Amino acid sequence: MRSAIGLLTVLLVGMTAKPALAETRDFGIACSVSGRLSNLDQQVHRSGYAFHVGMRQLRYEGRVEKTLVEQTGPDRFTIWLALRDLNVTIGRTDISGAPGRATCGPMKVLLGNRRDLWIAFDVSHRVDQDESQLVLNDTRFQLPADNWQIGAPSRVQTSGFGMTRDQVVAGLRKGLAKNRARIAQRLIDAAPQILMHVAAQSDDLPAIATSDFTRNAAARRLTSSRSQRNGFVNRNSAMLSR
């Protein structure tokens, strides 16, 4: 972890010598990424009944295609990672309600299947008592409705009135489609680990600094206000056009 942080510090501090702001550099880092995501629980209503849906054993696997660093101010940067073909596997789904129960086997959700998905990390660099430190101020990510697809579970077991396989699969896919923001939030939660993994892939620069990668309270916040969303979309479009 510290060696990856040190590499990031070298990358970012090296840019502070540049006089112009809003400069973007491509560090040419591309790699495979994988890891776990937090469980997903939700309540859904179908035909007048309430159901609890619990999704477990979530994992992701895909690629980071580009790594860009943009200087946005003195000692402030935005690190952009372009994700592509990110497969999210939901290992097990349990559905329970008054009519009956269902258990579903592995289910695939593919993110970024049509174009790159950008994650933005707003980072500041500071030196505290001669120790170099990177602070993650915010993580921004949005999952467009037209840049993901939901598969069907490979196995479905049902019991109870009206709990047919077709109804369960249709309801499960519809419920996921309505919870796109929660899927995006799970990825935001895992994003710092993705960033550390990407930083550790380059052997070109030595890890000369030791520091702690600190996330403040805003780091886990999903961008919500209209001005923030518009700003992110505009910046995302600029990145996509590169």
Residue 235 or residue 149, greater confidence: 149
Helices 180-199 and 165-178 pack at an angle, to 10 degrees, of 70
Average pLDDT over residues 156-183: 91
Which pLDDT score is estimated for 22?
56
Neighbours of 77 (CB within 10 A): 25
Average pLDDT over residues 93-99: 92
Is residue 69 predicted with pLDDT exceeding 90? no
Region of poorest pLDDT, from 106-110, 176-180, 215-219: 215-219
Which pLDDT score is estimated for 126?
77
Q: Could you tell me the pLDDT band of residue 230, with boundaries at 50, 70 and 90?
A: very low
d(CA 125, CA 132): 7
Question: What does residue 108 show for φ and ψ, rounded to 5 degrees?
Answer: -105, 140
What CA–CA distances, in Å, run from 225 to 116, 140, 222? Answer: 23, 12, 9
Question: What does residue 178 show for φ and ψ, rounded to 5 degrees?
Answer: -80, -15
Region of poorest pLDDT, from 54-63, 100-109, 124-133, 163-172: 124-133
Q: Are strands 213-215 and 131-141 parallel, antiparallel or unpaired?
A: parallel
Residue 66 structure tokens = 């580009």
Q: Provide the Cα torsion 205, 208, 212, 214; round to 10°.
A: -40
Q: Could you tell me the pLDDT band of residue 137, with boundaries at 50, 70 and 90?
A: confident
Residue 188 or residue 200, greater confidence: 188
Q: Could you tell me the pLDDT band of residue 123, with boundaries at 50, 70 and 90?
A: confident
d(CA 1, CA 154): 37
User: Whose CA is closest to 147, among 115, 169, 122?
Assistant: 115
* pTM listed for this prediction: 0.76
Average model confidence (pLDDT) across the chain: 78
Beta bridge pairs of residue 88: 60, 109
Chain centre distance of CA 100: 34
